[in-house]
Structure 1
Amino acid sequence: MNKLIASKKGLGSLLAGLMLVLLAGDALAHGERAQLASMRMRTVHWFDTKVEPLNVKVGDIVTVTGKLVTSVWWPKHMPSIEETVFLNIGVPGPTFLRLHSEVNGVPMMRSTAFPLGKVYEYKTVLRARIAGRYHVHPILNVKDAGSLVDKGTWLEVAESDSDAPFVNEVTTLPGDTINLETYGLEGVYTWHLIWIAMGVAYILYWLLRKELFIPRFIRIRELGPDRANELMTKKDFVVGSIFFTATLALILGGYIWAEHKYPITIPLQTGLVEVEPIDIPTGGLELEVDHATYDLAGRSLSMQVKMTNNSDSPLRIGEFLTANIRFLNPDINEGEIYEGEEMVSKDGLTVSVDTIQPGQTVDVELVASDALWEQYRMTGLIHDPDSRFAGMIFYYDENGERYFQEVGGAVLPNFF
């Protein structure tokens, strides 16, 4: 009876496991929600991110463009982007080739450094390599801090019209044309097999001794700590010396073989590239945050901001951006929404003052409200030991010219 019950339990567990495997869905993103809310709000403000085209075939070109502003509210405990940073693209595996990348017109083959409070325009050119549906993210890899991820855009890659295998040809400095998809694979396979054979032979020798793991432990207990070394025979020392010598010989031989086969090489370059930053176009509007609160029940961030218009044109607030989430003012149809763009609240921004006239100073209440706060785990902001926020305010003059600048400060939670 007990055996029957155990058998049924085992069968049930097996069926449950199969159901989980068969019914599991695809991963829908790269986990940018897992980053701390304060990190997403106070590090890098990504905007105008555009991926085009959104439907391509293997071998086609994809271009990713956009802008970013490095926050002056950068957390003090976090390694700064002013030291070392590298522009990258986040995709699941080697599904694209990166052909070119640049920031403010400077090629980004190496790392660079970004001073805080400046604008950087980036561009990355990719080539589709493997068919599938991918969430493409621009990424900044900051030394000792990790990756800062922009929101993703879904991209469909279909199979190419040709049945020929994917080719990635480049011309080397000596003038040879090689296919990087297959170049050097023969050597990779050969050296893997050599080291696997070495490892298997070494393990087999000790398995034949029949004194591994539990038997060896029991034998040591029988002999005692003073005589434990007697388990090692002269033959063991000889065999160990042979394997040690063979390992050193293979390593040295590998270096000699590589120098002979690839006589012309260039080491990886580690120097930093200098990028001239762009000043933020403030448009003559002065902003001063008086206070800010986050309403948990209403899922909204409210800001009291003192605004002074020092320009010659009336200005209207059109958008608030924080943690890659865009809150648009529905009364102003200036903000462009790109094809495939996510994390946009089309009517999520309420502004108490419609127009700020030239020379006028007014107290303006901005309320950014939407379920996106909860959906993208921004409510964790209130649990941060340094409860501060930062974001970008976008505004327009009477000619539709866009200006923007960063605001930030302490934020208090409102639980009722």
Structure 2
Amino acid sequence: MRIGRAALSAILLGVIAVSAGGTAWAHGERSQEPFLRMRTITFYDTKWSKARVQPGETMDLTGKFHTFSEWPRAVYLPESIFLHYSVPGPSMLKKEAWMNGMPVINSTSTKLGGDYDYKLAIMGRVTGTYHVHPMVNIEGGGPLVGGGEFVTVDGDWSNFTNNVTTIDGQTIDMETHGQGRIIGWWVLWTIIGVFWLGYWVVRPFTRRIFMVGTVPEEELVSPGDRTVGLVLMIATVLIVAIGYVTTNGAYPITIPLQTGRMDAPELRPTTEFTPYAHATVRVRPVTAVYTVPGRSLGMVLEVTNGSNRAQQLGGFITANLQFREPAQFPDTRLKIKVEPAGPIAPGQTATVSVDATDAEWEYQRLAELIYDSDSRYGGLLEFFDADKNRQIVEVGGPVIPSFEGGATALTGGGQWRPTTQYK
């Protein structure tokens, strides 16, 4: 039976957000299991257009995400998803959502192995500092959260308005629209409910409980009780009918809640970026080792360059982490070691070893992947040509845990080599 494991992580995210008060010291995405972050949806190229906004001011959250082909069996397939963002409570508002150039207000379907470009227009609402994440909700599986950055909503939000124009041309403020009607209905039904409960509480119901089964049923409920029940039943029906008529008269033009599902278009390749579905570089994982003392993931890969240009492995993306090869990206914080270094010629097949060593594996709680029931890793490899045009290639497979200190990836010959540390 499939379990929406991500839902538990979402609850923990909410607890962290509530306990943080006005300032959200977040990073609750680390609570999600490694297989959820590595082998479901991989977020990358995430950008926040602003780090500080005013109430009523919008910012753009953009990037891409990849749906992993080897989707875990414990998670529902992403056949129906909803693109959103994660912040503590209603502190910000989503104004627009786009995937691969298509507006996505409703749920959307995706395909395994696909890459999707997204854009979210988010408006500041409540003053505070919040950790803003991209998020994809999967039907039956819960939310999957990408990496986050702190965004500050700065200014007085007491006069905040969220104006929209309806289909009949009216401009309404969503912050207060229908508020009086909502409060009125809540008060009315609360009064009726309290009266109904209070009526039976003041009755000798305890004595009647002990009489159940010992006296005829008609003696447990008096004629007065039946009269009160009948009056309340008739009143409830009348209130609902009158409410329906008055509401229909107040809002004659309405549309039903939309339940349709849109199919996201395929992300087309460009000169600068080639998604996995169109990649001409093919990768076959040979072996992978995660060294616990060294905090290192080592991979041996067989790479075939099917393009007409030389390609060089320059990056590894997994679980919101982006490792880069320092010779190509000197300013990168997370580094990988690729051996042999250098480009792979067109039509050539080469065996390369990749060493991703960093304390982030432990800090992000990704070292727990060795405790998963299937112990598998997953991620995206970045290949670049001489002009820095990029291809995204999926990689994943079983990973072998090692507790031997100072050892990381296996070379092509299957021998251990020492850890390469970067400053």
Answer whether TM exceeds 0.5 for this pair: yes
1:89 paired residue number: 85
Q: Deviation of residue 277 (structure 1)?
A: 1.1
Asked if the contact 2:132–2:150 (Cα under 8 Å) also holds between the matched residues in 1, the reply is yes
Distance 1:220 1:331 in 2: 81
Local SS of the residue matching 1:39: helix
Asked if the contact 2:23–2:128 (Cα under 8 Å) also holds between the matched residues in 1, the reply is no
Asked if the contact 1:71–1:116 (Cα under 8 Å) also holds between the matched residues in 2, the reply is yes
Instruction: Note if 1:400 corresponds to 2:394.
Output: no
Which range is displaced more, 37-46 or 378-387? 378-387
1:251 paired residue number: 240
Asked if the contact 1:394–1:403 (Cα under 8 Å) also holds between the matched residues in 2, the reply is yes
1:278 to 255, 259, 267: 267
Q: Deviation of residue 59 (structure 1)?
A: 1.3
1:348 paired residue number: 335
1:260 is matched by which residue type in structure 2? G
1:53 to 47, 50, 53: 50
Q: Deviation of residue 291 (structure 1)?
A: 1.0
2:107 is matched by which residue type in structure 1? S
Local SS of the residue matching 1:226: coil
Q: Deviation of residue 305 (structure 1)?
A: 0.5
Map Cα deviations across residues 69-89 of structure 1 (whole Å, 9 max, x no partner): 1111111342211x2111111
Instruction: Note if 1:291 corresponds to 2:287.
Output: yes
Distance 2:45 2:253 in 1: 43
Instruction: Note if 1:33 corresponds to 2:15.
Output: no
Q: Deviation of residue 25 (structure 1)?
A: 9.8
Map Cα deviations across residues 257-306 of structure 1 (whole Å, 9 max, x no partner): 21111111001111122222126266643311101111122221111101
Q: Deviation of residue 159 (structure 1)?
A: 0.8
Distance 2:142 2:19 in 1: 34
Local SS of the residue matching 2:43: strand
Asked if the contact 1:293–1:413 (Cα under 8 Å) also holds between the matched residues in 2, the reply is yes
Distance 2:199 2:284 in 1: 75
Distance 1:23 1:128 in 2: 18
Distance 2:330 2:69 in 1: 26
User: Which blocks of at least 5 consecutive residues in structure 1 are unaligned?
Assistant: 1-20, 338-345
Asked if the contact 2:39–2:70 (Cα under 8 Å) also holds between the matched residues in 1, the reply is yes
* CA distance 1:132–1:326, change in 2 (3 Å): same
2:258 paired residue number: 269
1:317 is matched by which residue type in structure 2? L
Distance 1:413 1:22 in 2: 36
Asked if the contact 1:220–1:228 (Cα under 8 Å) also holds between the matched residues in 2, the reply is no
Local SS of the residue matching 1:257: helix
Asked if the contact 2:344–2:350 (Cα under 8 Å) also holds between the matched residues in 1, the reply is no
Name the count of aligned residue pairs: 378
Instruction: Using the aligned pairs only, state the percent identity.
Output: 37
Q: Deviation of residue 136 (structure 1)?
A: 0.8
2:170 to 136, 157, 176: 176
**Cα RMSD for the two superposed structures:** 2.4
Map Cα deviations across residues 8-60 of structure 1 (whole Å, 9 max, x no partner): xxxxxxxxxxxxx9999965226222222112111111100001111111111
Q: Deviation of residue 242 (structure 1)?
A: 1.9
1:153 paired residue number: 149
Distance 1:30 1:195 in 2: 41
User: Which blocks of at least 5 consecutive residues in structure 2 are unaligned?
Assistant: 1-17, 269-274, 405-423
* CA distance 1:105–1:264, change in 2 (3 Å): same
Asked if the contact 1:334–1:400 (Cα under 8 Å) also holds between the matched residues in 2, the reply is no
* CA distance 1:393–1:132, change in 2 (3 Å): same
Distance 1:324 1:195 in 2: 47
Distance 2:155 2:66 in 1: 37
Asked if the contact 2:84–2:134 (Cα under 8 Å) also holds between the matched residues in 1, the reply is yes
Q: Deviation of residue 316 (structure 1)?
A: 2.6
2:143 is matched by which residue type in structure 1? S
2:192 paired residue number: 198
2:329 to 329, 333, 340: 333
Instruction: Note if 1:373 corresponds to 2:373.
Output: no
Asked if the contact 2:383–2:391 (Cα under 8 Å) also holds between the matched residues in 1, the reply is yes
Instruction: Note if 1:240 corresponds to 2:229.
Output: yes
Distance 1:350 1:363 in 2: 14
1:399 is matched by which residue type in structure 2? D
